[in-house]
Each structure stands twice: as structure tokens, then as C-alpha cells.
A and B are shown apart, each in its own frame.
Chain A
Amino acid sequence: MFKKILIANRGEIALRVLRACRELGIKTVAIHSDVDENAMHVRMADESICVGPASAQSSYLNIPAIITAATLTDVDAIHPGYGFLSENQRFAEIIEEHNIKFIGPRSEHIKMMGNKIDAKKIMDDSGVPTVKGINDLSNKAKIDEFINKVKYPIIVKAASGGGGKGMRIVTENDDLDKAIKEAKIEAKKSFNDENVYLEKFLTSPKHIEIQVLCDSFGNVVTLGERDCSIQRKHQKLIEESPSSILTNDNRDKISKLCRKAMKEIQYEGVGTLEFLYENDAFYFMEMNTRLQVEHPVTEMVTGIDLVKEQILVANGEKLTIKQEDIKLKGSSIECRINAEHPESFIPSPGKITQYHQPGGLGIRVDSAVYDGYSIPSNYDSMIGKLITYGATRSEALKKMNRALEEYVIMGINTNIQLHQKIIQTDEFKRGNYNINFMSNLIE
């Protein structure tokens, strides 16, 4: 078993990994920037190393400094968390070259899924449904043929894209050539890759994703789905499992296809296949080759500690969980607590002058903040996740309502009020909301 793991991250996820390590009897090394000296993940780790100044580029994304820290502290493995270097193929490669285990998939899988066109093709080949699209934009006649077949609206997307950059939605009245040109410029600027492709644009889908867990012996299990349709500007706000609209039959079908695809590419570790879901049909969007922010809702309904499992399979152990043992029990909801104004969304870093987190049966708070902690302005605004669990969705929702009321964070603005507003809408209560929910709510 690993003796010592370096956690190349900060905030709540660094703490989440640290807790899993502690339960597995593994020592931890925290890395931090100079402004994070007093952060909880540093305080709780067995050892800590400052890897650079405040800017993420010079600290949490500073590969040479992180590798040096790993070498100095003599760790067996590095856990990248999510964000930062978690999907950086080069980082995974360098770690492998240093004979340290990267807790995640092999670098080839990060590369494979990093390019959206390639990822879609792989899924297509495995029979996983994808959105109809066209990758070769050099032939005008072929583009016209495609549009005649799928009809407008269509969307232009960047091959290396993410976060809504390099995307253009095109309706009948818009100029397609102009949209492609603009998307190319934006994609080149943002990702240094001007490749774009066209896809049929789904107008009101849900975002539903499937969690996978794979070992190095070819064993693959899926752990149900998460409905992450409550998003603002492509950032998820609320996630839940199971989705209230998915039938068992539909879940089983898509899960089976995901397992087949993972087996075929010999994937290792945890991963998530993201889909759009409209009119009872799934359309593959992309795969995240890492642990997700919203993994706790899956843990709550399956009773499986995903981070521990991730570490165990990275250590070369065989999965002990069988697919037939995985049953989704009850219902879980997660609200992402952000340090931002609930209406204007202006980021609100600063000192927390009073802090009280909710508790009680079925309440889980994954957060690294504490009373008197100063939230730096250099990193993401998510300061914690509030997760509730109930035997039914309605119970989980009631608990969320109560927990949000109980949560006290003073000194900064948070989006707690926004969450209260969202979960009290009829649409959310019914569960049939789609990805347009937030833009409709704000307007």
C-alpha cells in the first residue's frame, strides 16, 4: 500500500482526499501557495510544502515545484484532486517518469478524452450515443447536407474547448460562416487550437452524467447517475442523485454502454461520462478523467467511498465491488456554496467573521473554511459543498431547506440565498428542470 501521498490541490477537495488517506493509514503531504499558509488542508496534513506565490500559475499549476516537493518528501503517489493539474496529460506523464504513481487514469486516457472530437469518435465506435455532428468543415456541400438532415439550431464547438469558450449557437437566421470564423478565433485564443466542429443543438436537455470506477484488471462498475442541470454559465450549482426523471430501464441501458466503452479503452480509476438527455435519449458530450466536485451525492446513495476506491485501484488492487452489489438507495442533493453575491454574482473573497455549519442526520458539509479564515481572491469561489441525504427526494429536499437556513457564513457574500430560492421553485421540486433553468430564473 502507498505509504505517503502528496495532494496537489487545495480547499475542500484537498481535505476530502486527506481524510480518505487518513482512514487508509496513508501519510499526507500538502502543497500550498504563500497565501494558503493557514489553510485547513495545510493544518491537517502530516507535512506541508510551500510551492510558490499566490497566483495559481506559480503554485498549484507549477509542475517543476510540485515534482520537487514530491521528490523531497519521498511520496509514492500524487493525488491531483479536480481542476488545476488533474486533467493535464503532461503532468501525469512527468509523474510517471519519476516513478511516482499518478492517482488517476494513464496519461494516454487523459489525452484521448481531452480532445472532444476524438472522445466522441471513441464513444461512437463503442455504441455510446452521441449528438449528431460533423467534424470536417472543409466541404461546404457536406455541411449543407448535414444541416438539411439535422435541421437548425446547430452549435459550433471547439475541439479542445471547455467552459463555453469557442462556442456559437446558430439558428436559421444566423450566418453560419461567420459563426464558424468567430468560434475559430476564440478557440485559437483560448486553447491554442482552432479546430471546431458542428453539432445538432439540443434546446432543452438535462445534464446527466454516469460515474464509472475501473481497476487495472479490466473490472468496470458504474455507480448510477447525477443530474447536474442546475448550471449558470456552464458552472454547476446543484447536483442530485438519482435523477427524478430517469427510469430504471434507461439507467441500466446507458450504464451498460458506459461499462462497455470503458472496458474497450481499458480505462483505469474514476471517471465521469457526461450526457445531454432529451426526450428519453442520451447524447454523450465529454468524459472527465478525474474525481468530480459532485462525487459526494453518488457516495451518499451508493454508500461507496469513491476517493478510497480511487486510491486503492491506483495502488493496483482489484475492485471488490461487483456491479450487482451497487444499488442506489435513497436520494441525495448537493449545493455548491460560493463566495459570491447571490444576485450580482460578484466574487466576494475576504475574512469569515462568523461561521456555523449545519449538522444532524443526513447532512454532510465538505468544506475547508473555518471561523476567522480569509478566503483569498486568487482561486475558485467555491468554498464548500452542502450535501443532504434522505430516504426519498422530498426528504433530502426538506433537509436541504433546513440546512441552508441553518448555515451561517458572515463577513462575505455567499450564494446561500440563491440556493434557497432555487430549491423552493415548483420546477425544482418536481425535478423536471433542464439546463435552461438558471437563465430563466435570473431573467
Chain B
Amino acid sequence: MTKIDKTDLENIKLIIKESKIDNVTKIKIKKKDYEIEISSSNFDEKNTSIHKVDRNIEVSEVENTNEIINEENIVKSPMVGVAYLSADPNSQPYVKVGQHVKAGDTLLLIEAMKTFNEIKAPRSGIIKKIVALNSQPVEYGDTLIIFE
């Protein structure tokens, strides 16, 4: 059985706020095909507000909150700047998900104060997830890459 998580609570709050329903009498969460059903005494059975949320988007968030990632597998940003996944816009990205990298391999670049700083793999391993987005700002301590 899947647990209720933060995302569910946030979605419920959002639905209540957006649809301006009050006197909530019943809340139902269905996890397969992700469904939230909210009933209110002000509505009759036919008007029950049902919001379907795209499951594909929600899956990753549910995963994030439920799974604890070992700190050692996370590559964090040593500086604030802009992340680049490839050497230049026309090149292939430095790494792909599922790729095996050696310690010292360049994972991505962070541009800060006019300098391009190579972020190197702290250890050998397989890339599980690339969290940093190309040409998007990252802050100090932000997760860039997760190893398996």
C-alpha cells in the first residue's frame, strides 16, 4: 500500500483553494491513475469535485519523497552559477543516465563569475539521475547528479 505523502496534501489544499469548496465531508485518494476525490456538503453527489492529476508528473515526486538517497551518491554544487550539461550547445552532453563514469570524469560545467568550472565525478559509478538542467541556475549545495 502506498502512503499519503506531502504532494497529496498539497494537491488537496490546491483543489480546495482553487474550486472554493467549503464544508468538506469526505476526501478520497486513489493511487492507481492517481485520483483525488473531495466531497462537500454544499454539493450534491453529482457535483462532487473530482480532479485527475497527470500521474506521470506525480510519480517522480512521490519517488523523491519516499526514497532516501545516500548522501555519498549525491554530487552537490560547490558554487552558485549556471549549469551546463555539455561543453557547448552543439556538443553531446558530458554524461547520460545509465552511463558508467570514472572518478575525475567531467560531469557538467558550472559558469560562475565568467569562469567555467568543471564538476568532476567524486568516484566511479553509474549515473542514476541528472538533476541539474541545462543553462539553468544552480545554488550552492543544490543536487546536480545522483549516482546509483
Chain A residues at the B interface, C-beta cutoff of 8 Å: 189, 339-340, 346-350, 377-381
Closest to A344 in B: B78
Given A346-B79, A347-B81, A349-B80, answer yes or no on A377-B88 (Cβ-Cβ < 8 Å): no
Contact (Cβ within 8 A) A347 B88: no
Contact (Cβ within 8 A) A340 B113: yes
Which A residues lie within 8 Å of B117 (CB)? Answer: 346-347
Which B residues lie within 8 Å of A340 (CB)? Answer: 113
Q: Is B114 at the interface (CB under 8 A from chain A)?
A: yes
Contact mask B73-91 → A, CB, 8 Å, 1/0?
A: 0000011111000001000
Closest to A55 in B: B82
Which B residues lie within 8 Å of A379 (CB)? Answer: 113-114
Rounded to whole Å, the gap between the CB of A112 and the closest CB of chain B is 26
Q: Which of A339, A349, A377, A379 has the most CB of B within 10 A?
A: A377
A-B contacts besides A339-B113, A350-B140, 12 pairs, CB < 8 Å? A347-B112, A347-B115, A347-B117, A349-B80, A349-B81, A349-B112, A349-B113, A350-B80, A379-B114, A380-B114, A381-B114, A381-B115
Closest to A190 in B: B88
Contact mask B59-103 → A, CB, 8 Å, 1/0?
A: 000000000000000000011111000001000000000000000
Which A residues lie within 8 Å of B113 (CB)? Answer: 339-340, 347, 349, 377-381
Rounded to whole Å, the gap between the CB of B48 and the closest CB of chain A is 45
> Could you show 12 A-B contacts with beta carbons less than 8 Å apart?
A346-B79, A347-B79, A347-B81, A348-B79, A349-B112, A377-B79, A377-B113, A378-B113, A379-B114, A380-B113, A380-B114, A381-B113
**Cα of A379 to Cα of B114 in the assembled complex, Å:** 6
Rounded to whole Å, the gap between the CB of A388 and the closest CB of chain B is 25
**Cα of A347 to Cα of B80 in the assembled complex, Å:** 8
Q: Which of B78, B112, B113, B117 has the most CB of A within 10 A?
A: B113
Which B residues lie within 8 Å of A348 (CB)? Answer: 79
Which A residues lie within 8 Å of B88 (CB)? Answer: 189
Which A residues lie within 8 Å of B115 (CB)? Answer: 347, 381
Which A residues lie within 8 Å of B82 (CB)? Answer: 377
Closest to A345 in B: B115
Which A residues lie within 8 Å of B140 (CB)? Answer: 350
Closest to A381 in B: B113
Q: Contacting B81 at CB < 8 Å: which of A339, A377, A380?
A: A377
